[in-house]
Structure 1
Amino acid sequence: MNYEPSTMNQGSPKIGIIMGSKSDLHIMQDAADVLKELGVNYEITVVSAHRTPDRMFSYARAAADRGIKVIIAGAGGAAHLPGMVASLTHLPVIGVPVKSSNSIDGWDSILSILQMPNGIPVATVALNAAKNAGILAAQILSTADEFLVQKLITFKEELKKKVEESAEEMSRES
């Protein structure tokens, strides 16, 4: 089975963003948005561990050969996608637990992604925190990319600046 990414920005993708269902896109888009802001090429698609296991196997096994360096996998409910993908590749996998319609307040997703057995690590971000997964993926890539290091430094300085401006605004109001 050949894998074809459904959406890709310009250039060869370095990050693969996958999700168990298109209904997770409103969460996973945050990872794509921050990667775009940082200038990191990515691909994004639906790969269900339960409904399309052959697609999941194909995606995970071929990712490195296509130039993918990090996979971000979002899933709700039983959330097997990140762990199963991690079991099929040597690439780092970042799991995004998604609070879905069939989820128990997101805890089932969190625990399914977080509680991986020794030997199959999955980095796990907070519930619905795809933006953090995108930032973490960029930080992993930055270990071999000085230009990306500078973009991340600027990004974090902007976060700091926003907090300082908010604090200053609040002190003027009180």
Structure 2
Amino acid sequence: MSQIGVIMGSDSDLKVMEDAIKILRQFDLDYDVKISSAHRALERTVDWVKGFEAQGGKLIIAAAGLAAHLPGVVAGATTLPVIGVPMHSGALEGVDALYSIVQMPPGIPVATVGIGAARNAALLAVQILAIQDQALSDKVKNYRAQMLKDLEAKDEALQVRIREEGTRT
């Protein structure tokens, strides 16, 4: 049984959404991935959402560009939490998608991350699931601790480089 569903409006979104999939794999979470459309395949999309929920899915990450109706349609078809990922596309470079996803009507919320921020969408999904899963919560804490170690290592390397360059002048 997959806990997280990942749905996107086009195969062109997969390049960005692979960042989310990598995070879900890193945290050993089961997931389903689907390409569907709020406009071109409405019934197919709603059927997938309802089937995912019926099979015990817990959360859906939905990516879309341009008019970006997919996350809203998904949220309208389920009571599961939905995280929207606006895709960088079109003349407005994803700003239209961001506004479409973040401006949901009252009663049908979609959590929204930044344009193209699939990694953050997956991390938010992990954190939501970790509320009721101590082992997953520990993994999140370890992930954050590793981020700090990586930052400190980069800073140390920078400080060494600055000292070396300073002695050369």
Q: Sort the TM-score into its range (normalised by shorter chain).
A: over 0.9
Q: Is 1:45 aligned with 2:45?
A: no
Q: Give per-residue Cα distances to partners, 1:105-148, cap 9 Å, x unaligned.
A: 11111000011111010000011000110111111111111110
User: Which runs of 5 or more structure 1 residues have no equivalent in the other structure?
Assistant: 1-11
Look up the match of 2:165. Answer: none
Deviation at 1:173, TM superposition (A): 1.0
Root-mean-square deviation (Å):
0.9
Deviation at 1:83, TM superposition (A): 0.7
Look up the match of 2:142. Answer: 154
Identical positions, percent: 44
Kindly report structure 1 stretches of 4+ aligned residues shifted beyond 2 Å. Answer: none
Q: Give per-residue Cα distances to partners, 1:51-74, cap 9 Å, x unaligned.
A: 110111101222221121000000
Deviation at 1:37, TM superposition (A): 0.4
Letter in 2 for 1:51: R
Look up the match of 2:10. Answer: 21
Q: Which among 164, 170, 173 is matched to residue 152 of structure 2? A: 164
Q: Which among 38, 47, 50 is matched to residue 61 of structure 1? A: 50
Letter in 1 for 2:43: D
Provide the secondary structure at the position in 2 that maps to 1:96: strand
Letter in 2 for 1:116: M
Structure 1 residues 13 and 103: alpha-carbon distance in aligned structure 2, compared to 1, 3 A threshold: farther
Counterparts of 2:151 and 2:21, CA distance in 1: 24
Letter in 2 for 1:162: D
Deviation at 1:103, TM superposition (A): 4.7
Counterparts of 1:18 and 1:160, CA distance in 2: 31
Provide the secondary structure at the position in 2 that maps to 1:32: helix
Q: Is 1:109 aligned with 2:97?
A: yes
Letter in 1 for 2:58: K
Native 8 Å contact 1:106 1:127 kept in 2: yes
Larger CA Rg, structure 1 vs 2: 2
Q: Say how many residue pairs are matched.
A: 162
Choose between structure 1 and 2: higher helix proportion.
2
TM-score (norm 1): 0.90
User: Which runs of 5 or more structure 2 residues have no equivalent in the other structure?
Assistant: 163-169
Q: Is 1:124 aligned with 2:112?
A: yes
TM-score (norm 2): 0.93
